[in-house]
Amino acid sequence: QVQLKESGGGLVQPGDSLSLSCSVSGRPFVTTAVAWFRETPRNNREFVASASGNEGGKYYADSVKGRFTVSRDNTRSTAYLQMASLEPGDTARYYCAAREGSVGWYREATDYEFWGQGTQVLVSS
């Protein structure tokens, strides 16, 4: 059984930084592409960032480019989303997702088979 577990969400003020983690188990991590999505009651689940496996590609939504950094530690089977300069618009429930294969150039939620339970991020003054 493939399992993804997120951690690191919380309440922060605008301009703060926050780092999310996602541990992956149940399949080889190096051949698993990992992505981050976020969802609000108003909006459908939208793409945030993704990281390839062995290929090393990293991709970002325009709304977070330059502020968020996606990374992965293959020795720990863990992906990360480092968020800086957080804005109220970043408030959402953040999910990590995974798909088979190392290619990370996928931006649709339907492209990913495995999902975590999500972690809430609230940016408010």
- Cβ of 25: how many Cβ atoms within 10 Å? 11
Q: What is the pLDDT of residue 55?
A: 74
Q: What is the pLDDT along the chain (125 residues), one digit of tens a residue?
A: 899 999 999 999 999 999 999 999 999 999 999 999 999 988 889 999 999 987 789 999 999 999 999 999 999 999 999 999 999 999 999 999 999 988 888 999 999 999 999 999 999 99
